[in-house]
Amino acid sequence: MIKKEFELDIESKQKVIRKFLQRFPENIRSIIMTCILSLGAGLSAVSFLFLTNLLFSKTYVFFATKSPMVFLGASFLVITITSLLAGYLLYVFSPEAAGSGIPQVKIAFWKEIGNIHIKPVLVKFIAGVLSIGGGNSLGREGPSVYLGSGVASNLDGLFGASQRQRRRATLIGASAGLAAAFNTPIAAITFVIEEIVGDMNSRYLGRVVLSSVIGALVVYATLGRHPAFSLPSIENISWLHYLVVPVVSIAASIAGVIFQRTTIYCRGGLMKQKRIPLWLLPVCGGIITWVIGSGAYLATGKIGVFGLGYQDLSAALAHNFEWKIAGILVCGKLFATIAGYSFGGCGGIFAPSLFIGGLTGYFLGGLAGIWLPLTPDDLVVLAAVGMSACLGTIVRAPLTSILIVFEMTHQFSMVPGLLLGTIISQAIAHRTDTLNFYDALLVQDGHELHKIRPPIDLQSWQNLPVSAIASPHPVALDSSDEKKMQELLDQYPYNAFPVMHGVQVRGVVTRRQMQDAIHSHKEPVIQEIGTCYSDQTIKDVGNKFVESAAQVLLVIDRNTNAVTGIITLHDLIRAQAAIQN
């Protein structure tokens, strides 16, 4: 009864707010909503930043002022307890909250029409603070993007937006969250457009720009000027550093390739194994991180392998420790981050990739200084080139990888080196892997982002061929063997699977029917599936979804009768929603 009264009270307040907003013209209303959503997303990112830094400073930074034995014992307890709590939260309450969060934002934008449920957002916030503040070698930027998107999506819902109208909120929250996390609003704009939308001419660009500015203003208003790490001003740059830029770019890019390939490989094996419960895996990753980080601490006196590592990165850029130490920290950070992410920790890869790339450049610059008369400022530029190259190799967002470094310095003398490093890193990235890190994770989890960009008017939309919105690679069930059905369910998140016998279509089976068949040890119930030709228009096939039991149509080539794709009612709805947005 109390719950019902509360819901009615919320609903009545929503009506009042919607009625108030309706007084304004559409363009003014859009600006007001963008500001409100950006403010909420920015505050969530700032809260996440503050609590993560607070936990790390009260534990690892404090322990480092004590004896080595105290540091080792206390840090082991902290990373074990926080990883255990984070793992339990993630894999008992919301498994989708694990990892970076950026792949989940891409899923929400392209497949869920911008709708993000509140539960994984809350779990991501708590588990992320525990994982990153507790010492795991992961970044806060990816979770900040997810938190911003999730908060904005749910706020948009509170203001009356339906679940089909929240794509813009997802992007607004992502850009505000990243701008707040990194204090780099321009890089936040380019990242959202490059990585999530993938279209520099997007109609969302104006909202993304405004939300990034507001996200940065939230940081300034609450924490003051709060850069992720400090880059000193540079004045004395020699031309000799250009001889080392290609070497640094290649080395940092190779480190990025090693990270991506090793993490994807290890993660795939760990998620499939059955001996260790999934909620215990983050503890294993935390212990591995502790072993590596403790070894690096005993060897160098630095704690940069734990957490974000920005303190040691800033110290290196200020020439506060020897370049030889940087080589040890690069190796430790690389393998600790692989362990943290592949074992299911909650955190991103921005901070580790910047740390690895930056100290790679600093180390190689110091090594080259044995033979070349490089200046201290040359080493700073080489570190910046390494950051841009490593990040660019992993995320394949070249503009972002340049701007995220440039915005922290505003020094144009760095730009030629950054551009050269980015060209080399992108060449290496495209030669070694076909997908960036985030898309590789999505493929590993069975997601295929079929990016539908429909025309802006309804008539043109209705005349589109079905093939324009169909998924071109249908995943079919070709056997009723229980083991194969379970493998299909574990690997792919789809709600329906066509049943094929060779090239012959037998029908369709839903996810629930497959689960019931496995539990009861019976054959799955196969239903009839509707078909359409690839050259038929969307208007022609609309009624066929009503006739199909699972609301799925197979797309058939008219000439060869071969299956060329699959289209669900959800595909149709989200493409239709894209026009309305």
pLDDT exceeds 80 at position 408: no
Q: Is the model's pLDDT at 413 over the cut of 60? A: yes
| Superfamily per CATH, domain 2-223 | Clc chloride channel (1.10.3080.10)
What is the spatial distance between Cα 427 and Cα 430, in angstroms, rounded to a whole number? 5
For the CA atoms of 382, 383, 389, 394, the dihedral, rounded to the nearest 10 degrees, stands at 170
Residue type (1 letter), 164: R
CA–CA distance, 177 with 181 (Å, rounded to integer): 6
Q: Are strands 552-556 and 530-533 parallel, antiparallel or unpaired?
A: parallel
Between 7 and 331, whose confidence is greater?
331
Q: What would the pLDDT profile of 510-543 be if each residue is shown by its tens digit? A: 888 888 888 888 888 888 888 888 888 877 877 7
**477-509 pLDDT tens trace:** 888 888 888 888 888 888 888 888 777 888 888
Q: State the DSSP code for 561.
A: -
The arithmetic mean of pLDDT across residues 428-440, rounded, is 92
- 41, 152 contact by CB (below 8 A): yes
Q: How far apart are CA 249 and CA 251, in angstroms?
A: 6
Of the spans 108-112, 403-407, 426-430, 560-564, which averages the highest pLDDT? 426-430
pLDDT over 70 (residue 11) = no
What helix, strand, coil percent values describe the chain, rounded to 5? 65, 5, 25
Over residues 340-346, mean pLDDT: 94
pTM: 0.88
Residue range(s) of every CATH 1.10.3080.10 domain in the chain: 2-223, 241-444
User: How is domain 241-444 classified at the CATH fold level?
Assistant: Clc chloride channel (1.10.3080)
Helix or strand run (H / E) with residue 246: helix 241-272
Task: Decide if pLDDT at 410 tops 80.
Answer: no
Query: Residue 342 is inside which H or E element, if any?
Result: helix 323-342
Among 526, 494, 492, which Cα is nearest to 509's? 526
For residue range 21-76, list pLDDT tens digits in order. Answer: 777 777 888 888 999 999 999 999 999 999 999 999 999 999 999 999 999 999 99
Residue 339 above 70 pLDDT?
A: yes
* Mean pLDDT along residues 549-563: 81
Regarding the domain delimited by 458-580, which CATH topology (the fold level of the hierarchy) does it fall under? CBS-domain (3.10.580)
For residue 111, the surrounding DSSP H or E stretch is none
What pLDDT, on the 0 to 100 scale, is given for residue 4? 56
Q: How does pLDDT run across 81-137, given as a tens digit for each residue? A: 999 999 999 998 999 899 999 999 999 988 888 889 999 999 999 999 999 999 999
DSSP helix/strand/coil, 567 = strand
> What does the pLDDT read at residue 575?
65
Q: State the Cα torsion 174-176-181-183 to the nearest 10°.
A: 140
**pLDDT beyond 90 at 368:** yes
What does the DSSP 8-state code read for residue 66?
S
Give 129-147 pLDDT, tens digit per residue.
999 999 999 999 999 999 9
Q: How far is CA 194 from CA 18, 32, 197, in A?
A: 33, 25, 6
Structure tokens at 247: 């070497």
Query: Within a 10 A sphere around the Cβ of 503, how many other Cβ atoms?
Result: 9
Using CA atoms, how far apart are residues 178 and 41, in angstroms rounded to an integer? 9
In this structure, the dihedral spanned by the alpha carbons of residues 199, 204, 208 and 210, taken in order and rounded to 10 degrees, is 140
